[in-house]
Amino acid sequence: MNDAITKEEFYRGLAKHKRIASIKDPRHIELALRQRDQLSGIFLLTGHIGVVKGYVNVFKEHGLPVFMHLEKIGGLSTDRYGLEYLAKGIRPSGVISTKTSIIKNAKKMGLLTVQRFFLVDSEGLDNIAKSLSQTEPDIIELMPARIPEMICRVKSFTEIPIITGGLLYEEAHAEACLTHGATAISSSRPELWGKPERKLMKI
C-alpha cells in the first residue's frame, strides 16, 4: 500500500490550513490529533529510534503528513544507510534538516524535504539563496518567525513555499507572518494550531 503524500498534495494542505503542529512533547500528540482537521501536517521534534515509527504511524492513520526533524530524533543515523532505513522502515512523509547534505540525500530517497534556516544577520539571506540553488528543497522553514519582513525578502528570490516558526506566542504573531507572505506557520503551542479557518470566516 502506497501511503506517501505528493508534494502537490502537501502544498494544497498548506494553503488550506496554514498551520503545522510542531510536536516537542509526546503528550501533545493527542492534542494534535483532536485538531487534525485544522492542521496541514506535523513536524516531529521528539522521540528516538525505538518509538518514532509508532508516532509516525498514528499521525498518518489520521491523515496528517509527518515530517521528522532528523537533528532532534535520538539514535537515528543521518548517513545514507540511516536515511534509507528511515524512508523504507519508518516511512514519514518527509524530513526537516538544517544540513544541505541531508536534504540532498533525503530527496534521492523519495522523501519530501523541509530545509530549516536561521536568520541571524544580513549574511543569512545570501546563505539561503546559495543553499537553495544547491538543494532545491520542497519547503523552506525560516526561524525565528518574529522578523516577518524577512519573509518578503526570501520570497523575492525563490518560489518555494515558506513556513516560519519560532518565538510565536500569540495569534497576532502568526497573522503577521501570513500577511508578509508565509504559506504557513509552525508552532509548538497548541493554542495556535486551530485558529486560521475560524478567523478567516470573520473577514
How does pLDDT run along the chain (203 residues), one tens digit per residue? 457 899 999 999 999 999 999 999 999 999 999 999 999 999 999 999 999 999 999 999 999 999 999 999 999 889 999 999 999 999 999 999 999 999 999 999 999 999 999 988 777 888 898 899 899 999 999 999 988 899 999 999 999 999 999 999 999 999 999 999 999 999 999 999 985 444 433 33
Q: CA–CA separation, 196 vs 17, rounded Å?
A: 7
Q: CA–CA separation, 44 vs 66, rounded Å?
A: 7
Q: CA–CA separation, 34 vs 57, rounded Å?
A: 16
Q: CA–CA separation, 87 vs 106, rounded Å?
A: 8
Altogether, the residues listed in the chain come to a count of 203
How many H-runs (helices) and E-runs (strands) does the chain carry? 9, 8
Please give the pLDDT value at position 126.
84
How much is the pTM?
0.92
Can you tell me whether residue 141 is helix, strand or coil?
Answer: strand
Q: CA–CA separation, 1 vs 89, rounded Å?
A: 14
